Amino acid sequence: EGPVSSIGLAKDQELHGFVVEDIQSVSDLKLRAIRLRHQKTGAEWLHIDRDDKNNVFSIGFNTSVSDSTGVPHILEHTTLCGSEKYPVRDPFFKMLNRSMSTFMNAWTAHDYTQYPFSTQNAQDYENLQSVYLDAVFRPSLREVDFRQEGWRLERSDAADSTSGWQFKGVVYNEMKGAFSDAGSLYSTRAEQQLFPGTTYQYVSGGDPAFIPDLTHEQLVAFHRERYHPSNARVYTYGNLPLAPQLERVGRIMDTYDRISLAQVPMDVAEYGEKQVTELGPVESVGAPDKQTRFSLSLLANDLRNVYETFSMSIFSSLLLHGTSAPMHKALIDSHIGSDYSANTGYSPYTRRTSLAVGLQGISDSDIPLVETRIRETFARVRDEGFERRRIDAALAGVELAYRHRKADFGLSLMQSISTGWFHGVNPIEYFKVSENVARLRADVERGGYFESLAERYLLNSKHTLKYAMLPDAKYNQRLDQREHEMIQSKLDTLSSGDLAEIDRKNAVLAEEQMRKEDLSSLPTLTLADVPEQAGRFALDMGVAGDEVPVPVQWRATSTNGISYFRVINDVRDKYPELRPYLPLFCEALTYLGTKSRDMSEIETDIHLHTGGISFSPFVTTDLANLGHIEAGISYGSHCLDQHIEPMYRLVLELVRETNFDNTDRLRALLNAVASNMFNDVARSGHAYARRLAASTLAPEAQVLESLNGISQVKFISDLARLTDLAPVVEKLKQVQEVVFNKLTMRSAITTNSGSVDDNQRALELFLEKYPKLGSKEDASDGNGGGDAGQKFVPSSSRFFCPLPFATNYAGKAIRAVPYSHPDSVKLQLLAKFLTPNYLHREIRERNGAYGGGAGYSAVQGIFSFFSYRDPSPISTIDTFGRSIKWILEEHDISEREMTEAKLSVFGDLDTPLSVAEEGMSYFTTGITDDMRQERREQFFAVGPNDLKDVAAKYLASPESASVTSVAVIGEESLDISGDWTQMRLQ
């Protein structure tokens, strides 16, 4: 690995209107960084030359705001709705299926908006670059697209001119959903209060209370001011040559003249100490009298000091994270609250960075106690600093993280530099990780370094916010009331002629959404661009252990000096009563400590010697039989090759010696897990809705729902309310006894060829002390489906889970066929076909949900539909059904559409893997390289009639109704009647 695409470039060289300002090689990261500037406009360009075929392009603009209308966020959406060269309604979503991109997105941060993509195909890269550049510099920005993506007034029944009015719009609904997440709302409001008089007192993504103040004219003006080369940062990464890209982009930028940039206030005037109390939503899972959130937020260093920002991030980690952190001991171990508040941590995303510490799940009366604990801990850190081993462990973690090769390295590199770069920092400074680590080690060696940071920023802060959010049981009702008042205030200013004009515009939008488009202007790959052969990974199969041979999958490859270790322990369908405890059990293994050592000591060892140890529940389905599953736990770790022996020793210590009698820490863990799971439903409700719908259809889906679904959220919150944890302790001990068993174990090791022997020796020692239970026959019996002794029988259900959100999620699932069935590939292509050609238009464009689509899990054998942040989930469930009628009766599938569905599938199949993931699909599911190749060939062969056949057979037949379920998660006020099973969390 190393630079390949910029050989011959030199400092001060001019090329296609750009001048090279800086070139630096970073040997640690095997890259060469070239910083250029466009001479005419001042646009900045950073090129990372690295031998990596997953090439990245991004263009971004400074978009700091002066209000909370969400103008940069709505503009980000609207620029992707057609442009001069590509005058189609939604080129961004259309290109998802004309490309084999490994990533395509756009996002709005505090101070900037970025449009990144990555792909391994050179032609694809050129195609996407052309679409993105035309989108940002020459967008159509039509009012009709602004009304679809931003906000609009619309009748609740478009066909009835007497029906009431509502706000609709993709971003409007997205932000309503974001503000439904109590943690996200708390963080946003606290930050607004910390930075009055600056751009950060506003919500760049948009506050639903202010989004309807934005006009189309303001959007167009914001684009004219901000989307200009003088305000742009271009990032490129990978092994494609730089010169042709400079020429392509330079041609566009040369048509612009340099402008002076819009300035918004970023530096806050220090206000001493301020206390603010506001009202927020109630969480279903918490105790009613413990719903308050409180935090202290303090200004820290200027973001542009790269070394101090690095130091403060390490400082924050040492202060807060892990069971050995002083703040964890002071706040979490004391059981005052359920977990840290959502804003807790160091925030290097504003011009002046900040550090916040707080708790959620407390009672109002605990606020003074929490503040006292926080301030006492600040003083203790100033006086005593941090334990040297913990500092060494934190720095070891930084170094290991940079050695660990992620598949999306180019993208993650871009994200690590973007905030500083948009604030004027030379981005290359962020790559000098080993220099910063060495400097920090030297500062720590001299003594008093972290103590001085505590003194300066925590104890002598000239700008501190004390922010409390109290629970209001009527919070969502008040939000609804405020929305009705906003609608009414809009209507009060409109004449009957104005309302008729709004009706007309809505009719035009509805017509536009249904219009058949000519997509011939959009570039596309063809199936000839898709490699016929799937990538293969050389694996060796061996065994380890004398008494009981344990299967070992070896992958010897270039790993940058890192060894990766993974284990699966399978208990099949035995012990179904213990299954709901598996997620808690996995969390407890890295939280409770052992009889002889507390977790803080073990945790420091883990961070000194490994990249962490993780345990998680595991389930997969037999590739030929949906009724047979494997279920248990999976765990693993990775380390530098010099730490192989301690890595295995530490894993074994947790497996054998975890002290489940430590009920004090178990209670703290339960409270945190319950709170985090509830917040996760607000963020990922569509995934929970799909899991809930699928849970009645197949054994794996049933198990997944019990492990990571609504029933697990309810199970954990019920456990968290127990006063006596003795029964829970007993169950966790039983899980430990049955899960860790040499007889049901297999392992996988990925390492350098020179470290195979060291791993084999360490594994043999590991297995000598690994528990063994029963006989091989005992371990492998069981019917593999559903609860022990009971055959799983699929059934049809409808679930509704009411939650205190201002948004909704819908899911529908249908049982289909196992992985090895010839119809499996056709169903996977059908899902890829329905999403862009029907569901996207109906769910997102017409209904105003943030997202929706179809998917097919080939291993589970489940076809599913979903919607995300959806204003009308019940009508969306009808839409799911109509999509099948549409493909069967109303639509002829073209060869072009067929090719696009296949390109989308191949894009997924060929997503690059990190070294750690290579060969893992065989280890976890049994899918061999030959099976992947055979499936690949089947995809090429599928035709339009095949999609109609499987739609009719599995999704529209009378038999399919008995293996179809739906689920809705969302607002209590939804009009749901009939035979729905209600899933209440309390």
Q: How far apart are CA 191 and CA 180, in angstroms?
A: 17
Kindly report the pTM of this predicted structure.
0.91
Beta carbons of 712 and 703 less than 8 angstroms apart: no
- Least Cα distance to 217 among 74, 62, 112 occurs for 74
- Least Cα distance to 297 among 353, 365, 339 occurs for 353
The shares of helix, strand and coil residues in the chain, as percent rounded to the nearest 5, are 45, 20, 35
Q: Say which DSSP state 29 is in.
A: G
Distances (CA, A) of 906 to 102, 222, 642, 910, 913: 10, 38, 39, 6, 14
The sheet that has 981-982: what strands, in order across it? Answer: 851-857, 862-868, 809-815, 964-970, 798-802, 981-982
Q: How far apart are CA 119 and CA 179, in angstroms?
A: 33
- Please determine, for residue 787, whether its predicted confidence score (pLDDT) is greater than 50: no
- Alpha helices (runs of H) in 809-912, residue ranges in sequence order: 824-834, 873-885, 895-909
Instruction: Categorize the per-residue pLDDT at 781 as very low, low, confident or very high, splitting at 50, 70 and 90.
Output: low
Which region holds residue 361: left if phi is over 0, alpha if psi is between -120 and 50, else beta? Answer: left
Start-to-end CA distance of the chain, whole Å, equals 55
H or E stretch at 189? helix 182-194
pLDDT digits (tens, 9 = 90+) for 487-546: 999 999 999 999 999 999 999 999 998 888 888 899 999 999 999 999 999 999 999 988
Instruction: Categorize the per-residue pLDDT at 785 as very low, low, confident or very high, splitting at 50, 70 and 90.
Output: very low
- Marked catalytic residue, from 1, 21, 44, 76: 76
- Please determine, for residue 777, whether its predicted confidence score (pLDDT) is greater than 60: no
- Alpha helices (runs of H) in 515-643, residue ranges in sequence order: 582-589, 599-609
pLDDT digits (tens, 9 = 90+) for 674-721: 888 888 888 899 999 999 999 999 999 999 999 999 999 999 999 999
Q: Which tokens hold the place of 327?
A: 């703040």
Contacts of 58 (CB under 8 A, 6+ apart): 114, 115, 116, 117, 234, 235, 236, 414
pLDDT of residue 157: 85
| Of 157 and 394, the one with more pLDDT | 394
pLDDT of residue 779: 54
- Least Cα distance to 367 among 263, 483, 501, 276 occurs for 276
Instruction: Please provide the average confidence, as pLDDT, over all residues in the chain.
Output: 93
Instruction: Categorize the per-residue pLDDT at 746 as very low, low, confident or very high, splitting at 50, 70 and 90.
Output: very high
H or E stretch at 671? helix 663-683
Q: How far apart are CA 765 and CA 685, in angstroms?
A: 44
- Least Cα distance to 461 among 193, 639, 274 occurs for 274
- Residue appearing with tokens 């690590």: 416
pLDDT of residue 288: 80
- Please determine, for residue 69, whether its predicted confidence score (pLDDT) is greater than 50: yes
Q: How far apart are CA 53 and CA 38, in angstroms?
A: 26
Q: Say which DSSP state 139 is in.
A: B
pLDDT of residue 7: 65
Beta carbons of 2 and 21 less than 8 angstroms apart: no
Q: How far apart are CA 810 and CA 868, in angstroms?
A: 7
| Of 305 and 781, the one with more pLDDT | 305
CA 651 to chain centroid: 27
Q: What percent of the chain has pLDDT over 90?
A: 83
Residue type, 925: T
pLDDT of residue 54: 95
Contacts of 521 (CB under 8 A, 6+ apart): 85, 86, 87, 88
> What is the full DSSP assignment across 705-726?
HHHHSHHHHHHHHHHHT-S--H
Distances (CA, A) of 393 to 160, 400, 453, 593, 742: 66, 10, 19, 18, 31
Beta-sheet pairing, 272-280 with 292-302: unpaired
Say how many residues make up the chain. 986
- Look at 41-55, 393-407, 767-781 and tell me which has the smallest mean pLDDT: 767-781
pLDDT digits (tens, 9 = 90+) for 346-403: 999 999 999 999 999 999 999 999 999 999 999 999 999 999 999 999 999 998 888 8
Which region holds residue 978: left if phi is over 0, alpha if psi is between -120 and 50, else beta? Answer: left
Annotated active-site residue 918? The verdict is no
pLDDT of residue 509: 92
Q: Which tokens hold the place of 103?
A: 């990533």
pLDDT of residue 262: 86
- Please determine, for residue 905, whether its predicted confidence score (pLDDT) is greater than 60: yes
Q: How far apart are CA 919 and CA 912, in angstroms?
A: 12
Instruction: Give me the numbers of helices (H) and strands (E) for the chain, helices first please.
Output: 33, 29
pLDDT digits (tens, 9 = 90+) for 249-308: 999 999 999 999 989 999 999 999 999 999 998 876 677 889 999 999 999 999 999 999
pLDDT digits (tens, 9 = 90+) for 930-954: 999 999 999 999 999 999 999 999 9
Collapsing DSSP to helix, strand or coil, 902 comes out as helix
pLDDT of residue 783: 45
Distances (CA, A) of 772 to 546, 739, 764, 775: 13, 10, 15, 8
Q: Which tokens hold the place of 381?
A: 């850190």
Instruction: Categorize the per-residue pLDDT at 179 as very low, low, confident or very high, splitting at 50, 70 and 90.
Output: confident
Residue type, 580: P
pLDDT of residue 287: 77
- Please determine, for residue 117, whether its predicted confidence score (pLDDT) is greater than 80: yes
- Marked catalytic residue, from 143, 149, 371, 842: 149
Q: What is the mean pLDDT of residues 13-34?
A: 94
Beta carbons of 578 and 738 less than 8 angstroms apart: yes
Q: How far apart are CA 246 and CA 15, in angstroms?
A: 7
- Look at 108-122, 566-580, 830-844, 866-880 and tell me which has the smallest mean pLDDT: 566-580
H or E stretch at 279? strand 272-280
Beta-sheet pairing, 745-751 with 550-556: parallel
- Residue appearing with tokens 């322990």: 569
Q: Which tokens hold the place of 510?
A: 């509805």
Q: What is the mean pLDDT of residues 861-865?
A: 97
| Of 283 and 5, the one with more pLDDT | 283
Annotated active-site residue 76? The verdict is yes
CB atoms within 10 A of CB 761: 14
Instruction: Categorize the per-residue pLDDT at 594 as very low, low, confident or very high, splitting at 50, 70 and 90.
Output: very high
| Residue 910 phi, psi dihedral angles, 5° rounding | -100, 15
